[in-house]
């Protein structure tokens, strides 16, 4: 069986205010404090379109190579839900802002272009908050926050490609500055349409839709589960129901939410309170001039300009802030690959563990560059540099000062090294005997012990040479 997958990605626009009113669009305010008659859907309130939201939607459309329609139209999508006070959502229906274009996805086995059906604009709904013991409350802060919906063609043929496509869309939107990429706060969500068919030439099978998936890993897992579920149904002679399903991360299953057979008719009609949206060629041209470098182009440039491996370039271009940090560090220390290693191995792991972003890290690019230069000039060893990094990560400060205050400079003095080596050999007679008996691996252990005894400050090459000198001499 061949799976066929299409994605619908909802991305909140990072505008200061909501799409049809002046309320703040930021996440995290106390419930129902960023609201007004417009976004509460009070009778008689009129929407006014936020020009910045349109500009952001155009940026996204340009980045994916879509055709931007000079005239598009908002429409009312009717349904009832407690978090939708108007009883309809203002969206776009048969005349979207943009159509066509593609998401260019880098995979382990080459580049895939996933075609786009459309990109349209709409408003977000409020949010139901399920309280433990007091029923359900509604928070309207999110009501009226601007969204774009990016709809791909059903051209994705594996769960991994679906996750990579979603991830690429995120990277592009974050690089454009139109979305913050924060899936935990729900500012980026994905629905997946999944079907199976016996052969590529066969018509598409009955599809099910998995709603509101909020991580790349869950996208992959939910789709993989859904494909297996559909294959099991078909092979046991059962029928796939067209339905909407939810991914439950706890049980790692999709569960049925509602059957499409009784799906409501949204009764779309043109929004009478808004003029058709007209976008001039001149405006599009001006927006084009301000488009930043896209992640794929930046990746290529990093490989070319800094001679870092493709893997490094992929990691370093995940966000504009991370890429800028790398470029600043590489420029300041003059060793791009070394800078990349420090950022990928030392910084990113600690940032993840601490739950902070690169912009919030206390070590500035200049400070990291100075630390790198201390290692490269041989003033401190690799292990000591890691200790300095750890200290700078926790407390900030300058590498030189930390090295001076902590007595962390490399022990270079041959007499000092010999003393440490002599003591270490005396404490470890068994590996010494093994080494003498021809077991060369014992040398690595002894070097490790010397490094430990010297607080990581001893030059490992000199330590190794000193050990061999003493043991081979006898």
Select 36 or 328, whichever has its Cβ closest to Zn ion. Answer: 36
* End-to-end C-alpha distance for the chain, whole angstroms: 71
Letters for 37-66 (x = contact with Zn ion by CB under 5 A, - = none) are -xx---------------------------
Min separation Cβ 291 and Zn ion, Å:
30
Question: Judged by CB, which is closer to Zn ion: 123, or 180?
Answer: 123
Task: State the CB neighbour count (10 A cutoff) for residue 309.
Answer: 12
> With CB under 5 A as the contact rule, which of the stretches 13-21, 63-71, 239-247, 371-379 interacts with Zn ion?
13-21
Q: Identify which of residues 42 and 291 has a Cβ nearer to Zn ion in the complex.
A: 42
Nearer to Zn ion, 83 or 400 (CB): 83
| Binding residue (CB under 5 A) for Zn ion from 11, 13, 21, 121 | 21
Cβ-based nearer residue to Zn ion, 39 or 173: 39
Name every residue whose Cβ is closer than 8 Å to that of residue 341 and which is 6 or more positions away in sequence: none
As measured in angstroms, the least distance from the Cβ of 46 to Zn ion is: 12
Q: Residue 325 and residue 343: Cα distance in Å, rounded?
A: 9
Q: Which is nearer to Zn ion, 36 or 102 (CB)?
A: 36
- How many residues at the interface with Zn ion, by CB under 5 A? 5
28-35's contacts with Cβ under 8 Å and 24+ in sequence apart are 28/185, 29/141, 31/129, 31/137, 31/139, 31/141, 32/139, 32/140, 32/141, 33/141, 34/141, 35/140, 35/141, 35/143
Residue 296, both tokens? 């794929």
Q: Please state, in angstroms and rounded to a whole number, the distance separating the CA atoms of residues 378 and 471.
A: 27
Stretch that binds Zn ion, among 18-26, 100-108, 122-130, 411-419 (CB under 5 A): 18-26
Give yes or no for residue 36 binding Zn ion (CB under 5 A). Answer: yes
Closer residue to Zn ion (CB): 22 or 270? 22
Angle (CA) 148-150-145 rounded to 5° is 15
CB of residue 128 to Zn ion, shortest distance in Å: 19
How many C-beta atoms surround the C-beta of residue 203 within 10 A? 6
Shortest Å, Cβ 53 to Zn ion: 13
Among 407, 344, 340, 324, CA closest to 372: 340
Residues that bind Zn ion (CB under 5 A): 21, 23, 36, 38-39
């Amino acid at each position: 069986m061949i799976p066929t997958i299409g994605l619908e990605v909802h991305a909140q626009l990072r505008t200061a205010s909501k799409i049809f009113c002046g309320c703040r669009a930021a996440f995290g305010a106390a419930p129902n404090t960023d609201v007004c008659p417009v976004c509460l859907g009070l009778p008689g309130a009129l929407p006014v379109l936020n020009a910045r939201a349109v500009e952001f939607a155009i940026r996204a459309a340009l980045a994916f190579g879509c055709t931007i329609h000079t005239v598009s139209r908002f429409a009312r999508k009717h349904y009832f839900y407690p978090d939708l006070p108007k009883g309809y959502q203002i969206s776009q229906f048969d005349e979207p802002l943009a159509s066509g274009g593609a998401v260019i996805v880098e995979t382990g086995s080459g580049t895939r272009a996933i075609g786009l059906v459309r990109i349209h604009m709409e408003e977000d709904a409020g949010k139901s908050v399920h309280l433990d013991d007091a029923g359900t409350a509604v928070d309207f802060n999110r009501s009226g926050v601007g969204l774009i919906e990016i709809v791909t063609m059903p051209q994705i043929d594996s769960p991994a490609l679906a996750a990579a496509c979603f991830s690429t869309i995120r990277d592009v939107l974050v690089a454009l500055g139109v979305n913050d990429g924060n899936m935990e706060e729900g500012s980026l969500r994905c629905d997946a349409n999944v079907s199976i068919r016996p052969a590529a030439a066969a018509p598409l099978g009955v599809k099910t839709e998995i709603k509101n998936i909020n991580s790349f890993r869950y996208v992959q897992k939910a789709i993989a589960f859904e494909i297996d579920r559909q294959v099991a149904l078909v092979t046991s002679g059962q029928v796939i129901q067209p339905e909407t399903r939810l991914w439950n991360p706890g049980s790692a299953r999709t569960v049925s939410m509602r059957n499409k057979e009784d799906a409501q008719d949204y009764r779309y009609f043109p929004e009478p309170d808004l003029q058709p949206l007209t976008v001039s060629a001149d405006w599009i041209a001006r927006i084009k001039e301000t488009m930043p470098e896209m992640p794929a182009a930046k990746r290529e440039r990093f490989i070319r300009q800094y001679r870092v491996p493709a893997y490094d370039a992929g990691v370093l271009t995940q966000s504009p802030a991370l890429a800028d940090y790398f470029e600043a560090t590489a420029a300041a220390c003059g060793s791009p690959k070394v800078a990349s290693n420090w950022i990928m191995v030392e910084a990113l792991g600690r940032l993840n563990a601490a739950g902070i972003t690169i912009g919030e890290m206390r070590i500035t690019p200049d400070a990291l560059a100075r630390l790198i230069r201390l290692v490269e000039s041989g003033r401190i060893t690799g292990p000591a540099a890691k200790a300095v990094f750890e200290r700078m990560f926790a407390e900030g400060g300058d590498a030189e000062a930390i090295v001076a205050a902590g007595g962390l400079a490399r022990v270079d003095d041959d007499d000092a090294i010999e003393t440490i080596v002599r003591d270490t050999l005396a404490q470890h007679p068994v590996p010494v005997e093994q080494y003498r008996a021809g077991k060369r691996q014992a040398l690595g252990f002894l070097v490790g012990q010397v490094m430990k005894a010297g607080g990581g400050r001893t030059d490992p090459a000199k330590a190794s040479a000193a050990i061999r000198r003493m043991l081979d001499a006898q």
